[in-house]
Structure 1
């Protein structure tokens, strides 16, 4: 049985334990899967491998048919999304039986460097091509400028807010190749990549990358209101008010509402089951003799019973 099959057949608890075990490897886990650790007092401590990110990565890898170790080395989490390296995108396309080729031309210094990636599907022969050069990267806002210097040599400039060189400036040729591969993969092989973006795309687009609709906000603190409900009537009133909330909000409160309803029902049953207990029987002390108080109580009870039977006149 392969490691991928073994992982897919594991339970959720086993997968979570596996992710925690991998996260414990510390420096062996890629830095992209680290997150600051929250201390018990709420403050943030030094970063450490995040079991949640590790789990997301190996789950994504399982979806793509990758060994967990391969997933950790080629899948990253950026902007809360699992993303593929361009190398992995190319590998997945070729692994699926499709052809992919990379052609380079010109030079950066001459201003005419370009990378063309061509892929041909094995099933229907469709050809998908993407060409990227620095001018296209400039139009996309990925580089700050691309122009000649005083010596007539073309130079790429891509800087961070602090003025430090970004990968687009330091590794322009590589970044163009990765972008061309990503475009081909997204346009012609979504069945292979499951529509995932590459790490470079997610990092470059950042917040502009299409994301799922944000979760709607609740108009009230429903969990607190549900927990404070003292009767089923109050709980039913909360249910009526919840009808005006979005489905996502109602779905999150359903379990809490049902749990509170169960608690109130059990409390009501307990009250209904209460009965007035008979007068306690006289209890003997350790010597077998009744205490003075118990003796008086027993005598009084016998006297009252005798009066009721007409044996004794009050």
Structure 2
């Protein structure tokens, strides 16, 4: 076992938990499957689960984060990791492909042979089998006679089996062989691809907002109006980084406008100015202390949030044609 893994295993649970929290702070560098849907940020418990699972398999924590994911509270292994572990244990794993997707006869056969007993395990996956498993909608020739895979969500979104039709049969065949013949190597864990009907991430479209937040923020003329928008954003959980950046920018603009209106204008006539000035022996009234922003306003951004806000402002400037994006 690598010394780095030994060092991780020998650390106390408290030290490993602190390590998980530190890793989770990496934000967008963490795989999306390890995010907490409620907060939109990496989940330290999920990160810890992945690192602990990797430790059992003899993996460095960083390697575990790249090939182990959490699905419904269970650690799952990427099919590539399964193949690597099987071969690392001295067993033989062969992958044979035949045909093509456009030709309508594509299939993948994976054969695993145990080094200790010589037992052989085989699995073949093709698109018709994926159709039977309800992973693919259809596999038919188009007007030019070229076969096309179709796998769509209810909203018409392209699913992994359509986007990666050549890869998915291989990963499913590997995971099937691993589960049947090499559970001692993979600790009986399922593959990520099997648990997610594909596993290769495709960017999810952002859900439709319940309000046109950009228009509402831009139309706000007072902090009270803006704070009310902040309340609604929090209530509906739609405060993305870009919306937050726009809110902060508008808040700054409103504050500057208010300060400009409240600023004293020095009259041109010195005499008039003298008449309006308090006597020298009377202390001028002090300006009331600035009041903290209402609790409905977003809190002061962290460094990470500040950088995200700056990036959002830049994106908005590019979209408006104010800044060139280098294209």
The Cα shift of 1:205 comes to: 9.3
2:263 aligned residue: none
Gaps of at least 5 residues in structure 1 are 38-44, 207-314
> Is this contact kept in 1: 2:142–2:148, CA < 8 A?
yes
Q: Does 1:171 align with 2:172?
A: no
1:311 aligned residue: none
**What are the within-5 Å matches in structure 2 for residues 96-245 of structure 1?**
96-204=89-197
2:54 aligned residue: 61
**How far apart are the structure 2 equivalents of 1:29 and 1:107?**
35
Q: Does 1:19 align with 2:12?
A: no
Q: Does 1:85 align with 2:86?
A: no
The Cα shift of 1:165 comes to: 0.8
**What are the within-5 Å matches in structure 2 for residues 209-288 of structure 1?**
none
> Is this contact kept in 2: 1:86–1:199, CA < 8 A?
yes
The Cα shift of 1:110 comes to: 1.5
Q: TM-score, normalised by structure 1?
A: 0.61
Gaps of at least 5 residues in structure 2 are 200-327
**How far apart are the structure 1 equivalents of 2:19 and 2:4?**
12
The Cα shift of 1:8 comes to: 1.3
**How far apart are the structure 2 equivalents of 1:13 and 1:93?**
32
**How far apart are the structure 2 equivalents of 1:150 and 1:138?**
21
1:9 aligned residue: 10
**Could you say what secondary structure the match of 2:112 adopts?**
strand
The Cα shift of 1:61 comes to: 0.4
Q: Does 1:30 align with 2:31?
A: yes
The Cα shift of 1:67 comes to: 0.7
> Is this contact kept in 2: 1:79–1:202, CA < 8 A?
no
Q: Highest CA radius of gyration, 1 or 2?
A: 1
**How far apart are the structure 1 equivalents of 2:62 and 2:187?**
20
**Could you say what secondary structure the match of 1:172 adopts?**
coil
1:51 aligned residue: 44
* Between 28-37 and 99-108, the greater mean CA deviation after superposition: 28-37
The Cα shift of 1:36 comes to: 3.6
**Could you say what secondary structure the match of 1:156 adopts?**
strand
The Cα shift of 1:9 comes to: 1.6
> Is this contact kept in 2: 1:62–1:68, CA < 8 A?
yes
> Is this contact kept in 1: 2:68–2:76, CA < 8 A?
yes
The Cα shift of 1:103 comes to: 0.7
1:17-64, Cα deviation, whole Å (9 max, x unpaired): 111111112222112111145xxxxxxx4x111101100100110111
1:263-299, Cα deviation, whole Å (9 max, x unpaired): xxxxxxxxxxxxxxxxxxxxxxxxxxxxxxxxxxxxx
